[in-house]
Structure formats: structure tokens, C-alpha cells
Amino acid sequence: MLAKFTYKTGDRPLPGYTIKRGIGKGGFGEVYFAISDGGKEVALKLLLNNVETELRGLQSCLNIKHTNLVQIYDLIKDADGNPWIVMEYVAGKGLDALIKEHSNGMPEEQVRKWFPQLARGVAHLHDHNIVHRDLKPANVFIEDDNAKVGDYGLCKLISDSQQLLQTQEIGTLYYMAPEVTQGVYGKSVDIYAGGIILYEMLSGKVPFDGQSAMEIISKHLTAEPDLNKIPVPYRPIVGKALQKKPEMRYASIAEMAKDVEKAGRPPKVIPVPDSPAPGLPPVVLPVKQPTDWRLIVSEICGSFGLAAVLAFLWMIPWIAVEHVMQENRDLTEYGAALFLISLTSWAVLAVSRVWHTVKAESWLMRLSYLVAGLGIGIAAAWLHGWSFEIGTPMSESAGVFSSFLADLGQACPLPGAVFCYMTFFAVGLAIPQWWRITDPGRCKRFSFWPVLVAGFGATLAALFWPESAFTGPQSWVVGFVILVATAVIVQLASPWRPPPVKTTRPVRYVLGKKGGASYVQN
């Protein structure tokens, strides 16, 4: 049964406009196709419900113009005081109708053409600090291969001071972002709705459906979309747009549109010259992106500075504990320890950053850390005041292996203690997988497991620690603390880009009526 409109063909509720037919009815009123006295085709929208909400949105959208937005011409009141919106008439089909024509998903070339267009229209609203808030296929129209976003009735200026919403103002539940249930909204609300629309364009169905409003809302808040129903190139795009946390989504819908345009494109083809077999298809070669060494140097310098600060902070409780235990060292020894912690952290950060850029086998990576440890061992021996003169006899107090080193005697040109220092740091740095715990893409910024591994490596390396280093027979503990401190500091000082987090949590919802308007509450 067709909906009955208030006005019929030939009526003139507004001066200068003649109604030709009714074209739609909704929660806010009725829409008519009309002709002005000058012959211009327009759409007239009569506001019947929630007039205050509709007008509040229109006042911020009246002067917005964009090729991908349905233009609003004017706001006029009739003789009875009812407000009418005079806007551009779009003769094409709605995007919802086109999606219904493709029950298994629209052709990808159409998706890559029309979604970026509607995204550009919404981005123009965002540039004017406006959120659409009712973005859905029924509000997107295709005319002459051009997508136009319409129905600005729920538009609202972005404002941190306005946080309460009612469900009558938040648009269709199928496209509602999770944070809207808590009265929080922003540009990310439209990005989430854009992700739903993109999913629907590609699969013919919305990702979250249910038998009741409560079920749909619950799925928005807790369920993950089934990305297997859409083509592979678009899965990371939709997955990012439909993150439960707004901060995990795209920073802008324009950025999302760029990814959609690039998705599904064939890889760049570089033909091989002087091919011995003409007629064969060209060979696809990967295009290697140039390494930005300035960015790498900038990151390393920033990590070095932070590592030095953390090393200094590490020394404060160390000095305090030894002061309480009345085991005060000379300040030069504390300075030497601070320098070694900083130097070891810098060596690990520098070597790791190189391997993040140039991938290699794990044995080669370990070898590079071992070589760095040898250099740190020389620096440690120098700080302790050992001589580096060639042919100096080995120390008789060179730890557990002192007898073995003494037997080497004149065979090794380095003093025994210098050899011990070098061996200690070489072994201590070769055992942990430093390249993983400093990887910017690691799962966590900080983990205790690498600290335990570093402690284990230091314990093994302690077999080579000279007993006369620093003070006391248990002086290898100082080296142990240096390597453990390094494992803590490099994790905190190295860059980290957290991966998208999938969050699911049990939530209790109440759906009811209050004051004549529906509401949702946690």
C-alpha cells in the first residue's frame, strides 16, 4: 500500500513552487518533487517531526556546496508556519536500490568509483566541522555516475560540550557506531558508517543484523565483522573502519577513500627489456621503496636521548639501595656503570635499527650484537684502568677460567681481564633476540620475558667476569645489572606502533522508553 501524502499533484503549499508528486516519507516528514515557477526542478521536504533537531542541523549546512553533496537551497515556512526545505532534486537511484540489485555484492570497479565520491562529500562536511550522523545507502544517490550524499537532517556541529544523544537522532541502527550508545560522537561515527556501507556494497549485506534493536546494538558493541564475505583487498580497510574504539579507525574518511581506490588494482608491471622469448607476458617485479635514512637517523637520535635519561633514572634506586646497605662505591664507579648502561643500550638500539631496515638471518644478527659486545668489553676494561699493552701477562684473578687463561699465557696478546670483559659482553649480547624486542611492530611495548633472557645470558657470561672488577668477589652482579637494565631501557626507548586491538567485553544494555523517546544505556 502506497503511503498517503499530505499534498497532491498541482498543490502550491509554498509560493513559487508546484508539487508534481510525492517521492518519499520518513521519520522527519515528507519529500516531494516540485517545479519552480521559473521551471527549475527541486525537492521539497516538509518537516513534521523532530523539527528542532532538523532545523539545528540545517542551519549549519545551508551554505555547504560540493559536487558530492545534495545542495540545500533554502528554508521556507508555509502559511501554517510549517518549515520546508528547498533542495536539489537528484533523479538517479539511491545506493540502497543499487545494492539490492547486486545481492552478492556490487562490481568492484563501481565500488572503487562511487565510494570515494561519497567519502569526498562526507569529508567536505568534516572540513566544515560537521558530522553527518545518518550516513547510510538510502541517503546516497547516484546520478550520471556521480554519487551525492543527502539528508542532512541529522547533521550537527562537532562540539565537546554536547554529549547526550537519543536514538531517534542517531540514524539507522545498522550503521550506528558503538560509541554513540554512550553519547559520544565525532568524525569517527561517519567513518564507522562508511565501513558498514563499504561492506554492504561488496557483499550485498550489512555485517551486523538481528531480530531486534537490542541484538543489533549488542553486535555493534561486541561482535567482530565476518570479513570473509568481502574480497581480500578490502578486508583490512573494512576491518580498520569498523574498529570498536574510535581512535583505532582511520584518521579521516578521505584516507579511507584513498585505500579503497588503490584496493584491487593490478601490481605495477615493469617489462624486462631484450626478452629472449617475445610474446610472453611481462614479468611483474616488486618496486622497492627507497629507504629514508634521515628518518632512521632521527629515530636513532631520539632513542639514544631517551635511553640516556632512562639509564640515569635507573642509577638513582641503585645508588639509594647501596647507600642503605652501606656499600657505597666511589662516584667514578657509579659513573662508569652509568656510561656502560648507556653505551650498551645505544649499541643495541643502533644495531637493531639497521636490521629493521635490512632483514637478515638470525645468526648474522647475533654475530653483529656479539661484535658490539666485544667493543663494549674493551670500553669496560678501559674504564676499570686495565692496560692494553701487547704481551702483558694475563691476570691471575680472571674469574672461573683464570687457570685456563693463565695456560694460554703468551699465546693471547691481550691481558686476561680485558679478554674477560670482552667475552662477558659479547656472550651477554649474543643470547637475547634484541632485534625482536626493539621491533616497532612488536605486540607490546614492554615485556618481562626479554629481561629474564638477558639475565640468563648475563649469568652465563659471568663465568668470564674478572673478580677484581669494581669491588668484591661478587662483582659480576654489576655486569648482570647492566645487561638487565639494557633489556628494560631498549624496550622503553625504541619506537613502538601498537597493532589494532580487537576488544570484546560483556556488556549489559537496557533498551526502553523514557519521555517518549527511545534510549540506550550501559
Distance, in Å, from the CA atom of 166 to the CA atom of 514, rounded to the nearest integer, reads 10
A 10 A CB-CB count for 156 gives 19
| Residues 270 and 284: beta-carbon distance below 8 Å | yes
| Residue 85, helix vs strand vs coil | strand
CA 362, distance to chain mean position in Å, is 29
CA 487, distance to chain mean position in Å, is 26
- Report, in angstroms and rounded to the nearest whole number, the Rg of the chain calculated over CA atoms: 34
| Residues 225 and 207: beta-carbon distance below 8 Å | yes
| Residues 168 and 178: beta-carbon distance below 8 Å | no
Lookup: cell for 136: 547510510
Catalytic residue among 74, 134, 144, 274: 134
| Residues 421 and 466: beta-carbon distance below 8 Å | yes
Active site residue 134: yes
- Residue 127 identity (one-letter amino acid): D
User: Do you know the residue count of the chain?
Assistant: 522
Alpha carbon separation from 371 to 137, 269, 337, 398 (Å, rounded) = 61, 42, 20, 21
522 class by beta-carbon count within 10 Å (0-12 exposed, 13-18 middle, 19+ buried): exposed
CA 373, distance to chain mean position in Å, is 36
CA 109, distance to chain mean position in Å, is 27
Distance, in Å, from the CA atom of 239 to the CA atom of 237, rounded to the nearest integer, reads 5
Return all residues near 108 (Cβ < 8 A) that are at least 6 apart: 202, 231, 263, 264
- Residue 485 identity (one-letter amino acid): A
Q: Which residues are catalytic?
A: 134
